[in-house]
Amino acid sequence: MAVDWFRHLNEALGPILLDAETIQNRVVELALQITADYQGRTPHLIGVLKGATIFHADLIRAIGVGVSVDFIAVASYGSGIKSSGEVRILKDLDESVEGKDVLLVEDILDTGLTLHYLLENLQSRNPQSLRVVTLLSKPSRRQIDVHADYVGFDVPDKFVVGYGLDFDQRYRNLPYICELILPPGTIADL
């Protein structure tokens, strides 16, 4: 299998934290909760590129009410692992969110700086409602108090890759989420 090949070639991949089945089961649970909460409405699911793409695609297919979708791309990390604390919009939404029931779909909530920025930005565009679903959260890393309405998994303070999450644009295609063991010295930057 291509994925195992990849693992063999790269010694930086550490233990699997969440296997594919565990992720899929939790995505379905989140989708059931969202389906119940949005009865009679059409949630507008905004995926945050690029990390949330896999989660977004699986989540919308498991939701049992009609949805609309859009995407936004922000830069909060460069090609490494350290947050700059600065958030910029690289690609804005295609459509207005005014009057819509927006559900922002994030891959991981780390310091919270990206989500804080996105929530303020989207709120200023007058949606009908604004909620957040994040697949992962690292509560111990939070620098700003920000709330996610739906959280897939709390994870420890480890750098993780797979299921959309990258390191230097790699590993997004792994079907599981695993720790990335970084070369000595890299961690000192965190």
Q: Confirm whether 107 is a catalytic residue.
A: no
Q: Which is nearer to ligand IMP, 43 or 51 (CB)?
A: 51
Which region, judged by CB under 6 A, interacts with ligand IMP, from 9-17, 21-29, 36-44, 108-116? 108-116
Q: Please provide residue 133's backbone torsions phi and psi, each rounded to the nearest 5 degrees.
A: -120, 130
CA distance 50 to 137: 17
The structure tokens listed for 130 are: 């604004």
DSSP structure class, residue 75: E
Q: Which is nearer to ligand IMP, 112 or 127 (CB)?
A: 112
- Give the one residue of 111, 153, 172, 175 binding ligand IMP; rule: CB under 6 A: 111
End-to-end CA distance of the chain: 33
What are the distances in angstroms from CA 172 to CA 63, 110, 152, 175, 177?
Answer: 23, 17, 18, 8, 9
DSSP structure class, residue 186: T
Task: Tell which positions 131-170 bind ligand IMP, by CB under 6 A.
Answer: 159-161, 165
The CB-of-183 to ligand IMP minimum distance in angstroms stands at 16
Q: Which is nearer to ligand IMP, 36 or 75 (CB)?
A: 75
Residues in contact with ligand IMP by the rule CB under 6 A = 51, 76-77, 83, 106-115, 159-161, 165
